[in-house]
Structure formats: structure tokens, C-alpha cells
Chains A and B, each alone.
Chain A
Amino acid sequence: MNRRLVTSLALVLFTGVGSVRADDWGTISGRFVFGGAKPTASDIKADKDVEVCGKHKLLNEELVVGADGGVANVVVFVRDKDIKIHPDLAATKNTPVTLDNKDCRFEPHVAVIQTGQPLVLKNSDTIGHNSNVATIKNSPSNSLIPAGGDSKVTFNAEEAIPAQVTCNIHPWMKAWLVVRPNPYAAVSKPDGSFEIKGLPAGEVELQLWHEKAGYIGEIKVGGKSEKTAKGRKKVTVKAGENAMGDITLDASLFKK
């Protein structure tokens, strides 16, 4: 066999193996904190299907701030188009994401999905719903989802702005769908914390979004204000943990 071919093959293999070494990948984490007096979420009074929806305590979920000031449902994703994907994450595309119509609200309120990954629009309620998915780059859809039923959708193109999902029968129901071309996206938990694992070491550009604030234009890290035009923030990922700590979002951002 051609010796040069073998050598180059070995080189390819070696680099291939090299690229999955643990020390080439990092995790970004942080916590979004509300800068201002903690707002209280207002109640929603169900005026349709009252005998079912009236039983549940429904809150306006546009801005959810936890007891400790954490801002839930802030979306963080990596903007870079051709980012290297950690081998362990490659298969995440095959696992369906579920957006459930449950207790007359959507669960979760903000869902992240990759292009090509199946979305299951499910209905765990005993009443009928519909899920109006207002994507822009992908064909929008609006299917009836009967009690106990489901409907599947996939998306081919990434969406520049998270898409709204609504139920036309119960107009208070609202959710958001973040369609990304890679697995590097997270939604902050009720305590405001988020984590994106398996990022290739090096510089990446994050993008921060919240349904009330839109793309977040200003953040405060370690007491220092920083402009993040269009919600974009470049960070350098080192191998291992990269804790960003508390990221304060001023109350005025949520007035848009």
C-alpha cells in the first residue's frame, strides 16, 4: 500500500481522535438575575373551557422572576454557523422534543429544537387544543391537537428569532420555539441558571433573547455594564468549566 496514503490516513485518524479529547471542550454556565424590584406575575383568568382550565392556577409567563431574583426563560444560544459539534451531542438531533398542552398552558414555556429534530406537539389535557406555530423561515403550521393526541413537525431552517406558538382556542396560551442548527442552546431555569455543554474551546458568539426584552441589548457582569447589541456577546471557551457568574438584566429591558 502507498506509504504516503497510510501516513496521511493515520494523520487523519489521529486528528480525529485528538479532536474528541476531553480538554478541547468546555461548558458555559451562568445565571440571569433581575435588576430591580421583583415583579409579580399576574393571574390569568380562563374564560374558555372554564370547567377544565379554571381548575388550574394560570399565570402570565411573559416574565418569570424567581424568589431569589433569577430570570427564567432567557434563551442563550451560540450564533456561530459552522461550529464543531461534540460527538456526544451529535445524536441529540434524533431525540424528539415535546411541547405539551398541559393544564391549559404550554410545557415548557420556551422550547429549544434543532433543525431536523422532531417536535411532538402533545395534548395531555382532557380538552382539545390547537398549536399555531408562527415560524418565519420554515412553513408555519396550525394543527388541531385533540385531547390525548399529538402532532409531529420538523424544521429545516434555523429561525433568526424564536417563533411564537399559540393556541387559538385559549388565547392566553403562549410558548416560544427556538430553532437552531446545532445543539448549543439553553433556556434559563426557574432559578435563572443555564448551562451549555460540550462547546469547542475557542471564541464563540452567544446570543441572548427573552420574550419581553427581545434580543438583550445590555447586561451587567460583575457589576460592570456591557452593551450587547442584538443580544450578541463573544466569549472565549476554555476547556472545562467556564462560569460566567451572575448576569444582571436591568428591569427596564423588559419594558419593550
Chain B
Amino acid sequence: MIPSTHPSSVASRGIAAGSLSSTAPAVSRPPAIGWSWLAVGVVVTVAIATTGCGGAPAASFRANLVESTKQRLTPQQESQVATVMLALFGTPDEPVALPETGLDQAKLTLAAGPVRSDIVGRKNGLYREHCAHCHGITGDGLGPTAAFLNPYPRDYRPGVFKFKSTERADKPTRDDLVRLLHNGVPGTSMPSFALLSETQIDALVEYVKYLSIRGETELALARAFFELDDDAKGELPQTREFLVDEMLTPVADKWRAADEARIPVPEMPADIDMAASIAKGKELFYGDKANCVKCHGVTGLGDGQANDYDDWNKNIVEITKEIDGTAERAREAKTSGMTEEQRAEHRANIAWVNRFHGVLDGDALQPRTIPPRNLRQGIYRGGRRPLDLYYRIHAGINGAPMPAAKGTVPPEDIWHIVNYVRSLPYGFDGELGADRSTTSVQRDRM
């Protein structure tokens, strides 16, 4: 089922194997139209991959089978995506950083591959040592421990990150990811990696960006088939213009633009009357404009609107609905009156449903709802600095239901909410405890 990304299968397809003329990295060659540039990339990758670690099985990236099955790609199309991905990004042991990705090959090399030390005793294979068991070799959040964690580890492939200093839909900056590796994500299984050296953290950040750019490009490729004209015969154009300029570069450009997408934060006035600010923040929290109360609850315990999903889980929930609908349709279909064409479609639907069940078993985790944060605990996943809370309120949380207050709540009011939220773990200010009866009345009205 899984389209093999193992180098030998590509080589055996014999794509212009003879065109390999030098061992120089294919990526620095001037772009040629058509298959040739791609083929050179594949062949060089193959050459490197097969001369590497003696005997150890080469690691391979998992194909995004959930997306390719959702898009109903044929095995040929899946294999086309796998071939293109191999040429554009290499393998987990030998990652490729095309110049368009803006990634640093040396950093990737340090983070990639099996855990090992080089000749000067420098540790290599950092990603597999520290990250892969949860986030997976592919960065799909499907490492062996993933199913046992709550929340699930992040799947980098959609390119969505929650805790950052940039506007909602933008990528995190390098510093955001470094900070996250330093601090870990409190309240989750993500630990702090503060004991690693700066160079090592830097290499890991680069590798996460690589996996994310890789995953988002793969998604773009899988979705691109749908938009093909009929005369394309279900094949993506094998040109550099399409594969690199149209598919990869827009993804990489978003990472490059992250620094310009930083949220402007006016300083909180140094002489702020904190008691007054907290009172104002409380008003805003319960007020109709910021509306925090609707999800975080009258008590701030995160017990308001609690049956929503984040984007990653929602994807699986919606796919499951589609599978169930198609299955129901197939069960109710009367095969007797069918034309040959309808019968073929009917069979294809059944095969698709069956295949998807298998794909979800192996490539997805049981969907979970996302509870709004309990603000009484004093645990802040994205960091506990007032500034971190400001970012969360201003931009909302990408991938999560939390909306952006930007444009609706002025900056000074965001600071008031920050101050109120930061006061919540320390006092019950009448909303909880003494006024229980009032609270339950209010809750019923929500």
C-alpha cells in the first residue's frame, strides 16, 4: 500500500540513470526544464543514500496517506508524489535543502540521520535522538509514543504552529521555536531541551522547519491533482516551474516572511494601576467584545464551549464523516439496476472505504476534542510571560478555536485582559466558591 520512497525502487524505475555526470549536489545545477533536473536529484540522492551507513536499513519518510486517500489518488499518482518528494527533499538520512527552501544543509545534516558521533566526537542524528519518538521520523506527530500522550504531539506537516510571536496564520520565527525548545510546552508532554547546546537547538529548529516545509509541499502536491485539466491525464507537470516555483517556493516563502509578521506590541504602561487594570480586564473577559467567557467559562476553568476540535483532529473527524457517508451510500445502493460504469464506481467506493479504514488505523490517532484552557491553573503552554499572553489574545491560536482579538479589542484592553488572566490562578474573586449559586445560574444562561 505505502508507495515506497526507498531509493532502490526509484532507481529501478530507471529514470535517466545515465544522466548522472558528476557527484556535485544536483541542487546547485542551473534549472533545466522537464524531468532531467528531477532525475539528477533522485540519482544523486540514491547514490548518497546507498553509500551511507553500512548494513543499517535506510529510514524512509512516511507518505501522507490520509491526504492522498482523501484526494482519492491512484497508486500511480501516489508514487508520482513519492518520487517528487524524494527529489525535492531527499531522505531522513540524507535530507536535501534546495536553495528555494532557504534551509541550511549543514544544520540539517547535524540533526538528521541515525544517532551517531562524527570523527571529532560531535553528536549527529539529534532529531531521532530527541524528537522522533513522539513527532515521528516524518514530523507527522505519529511517533511510537504519540498515541499515549495527551495532547498528541504536533504534526508539522500542515505547517501550523500555535505558540509564536507572529500573526495568526503566519509561521513562527526562528526565535519562537528556539524559545519553545528551551522551555518545552508546560502542561503537555513536550519537555525542555535547555540542556542541549545552542548549536544543537539551532539544528533541530532548522530540521523542524525542513519537515514542515516538506510536509506542506506534499500536501500541496496531493491537492494539486484535483485541479488538473482533463488533458493532463492525471499527472502533475514534471517541470521545475510547477514543482519548485508553484508547489515548494510558496511554502518556503511563508517561513521567510515570518520575521515581518511579528505582532507589534505596545509596552504596558510602567505606572499602570494594576488593581484597576485587573478590574477592567475582568469586565472585558465577561464582556461581549472579547467574549473570553464563552469558552473559558464563567469560572475561568475552561468549561465553557468544550466540544470543539483543533484543526488536526477536525480533519480526521470530517474524513470519518465522509467515509461513513460513502459506506452508507454503498450499502444502500441497488447493484442490480446498475450500468457497468456505475458498478465500477460502486466497487471503487467500497474499496476506498476499506482502504481508508486501514489508513486511519495506521496513520491517524483517535480524534479528541480540545478543551479551552483552564485559566485557574497558571499553566500556560505558549509561555507565561505577559508578552506571551498578549500574543495569544491578539492573534488567537492558529489551528485552535481561539479567535484573534486583533482589530476588535484595542491593545491597551488586551493588556488589561492579560493582567486579569494572570490574576486568575491566585484568587476566586467571587466567581467560584462563595457565589456558587450565582455561578450556576450564569452558566445556565450561556
Contacts and interface: CB of A to CB of B under 8 A. Distances in A.
Main secondary structure of the interface of B (DSSP, over half): loop
Interface string A205-221: 00000000010010000
Contact of B291 (A50, A131, A169): A169
Interface stretch (B122-130, B185-193, B195-203, B397-405): B397-405
Interface in B402-446: 402-409, 444-446
B406 A160 contact: no
Interface stretch (A23-31, A93-101, A145-153): A145-153
Contact of A143 (B290, B326, B332, B408): B408
B260 interface: no
B357 interface: no
Contact of A146 (B288, B329, B345, B402): B288
Nearest to A168: B401
Contacts of B408: 143-146, 149, 151
Interface residues of A, number: 35
B223 A160 contact: yes
Contacts of A230: 226
A252 B404 contact: no
Interface stretch (A70-78, A132-140, A180-188): A132-140
Interface in B194-237: 223, 226-227, 230
A50 B445 contact: yes
Interface in A160-178: 160-161, 168-169, 171
A252 B333 contact: yes
Contacts of A161: 226
A132 B226 CA distance: 25
Contacts of A256: 322, 325-326, 329
A132 B169 CA distance: 12
A203 interface: no
10 contacts: A48-B294, A48-B446, A132-B401, A140-B169, A140-B398, A161-B226, A168-B403, A230-B226, A255-B325, A255-B328
Interface residues of B, number: 40
Interface of A: 48-51, 127-128, 130-132, 134, 136, 139-147, 149, 151, 160-161, 168-169, 171, 214, 217, 227, 230, 232, 252, 255-256
A252 B329 contact: yes
Nearest to A232: B230
Nearest to A151: B407
Contacts of B295: 168-169
Nearest to B405: A144
A147 B288 contact: yes
A142 B314 CA distance: 16
Contacts of B341: 227
B290 A144 contact: yes
B405 A171 contact: no
A99 B445 CA distance: 27
B307 interface: yes
A173 B221 CA distance: 31
A127 B288 contact: yes
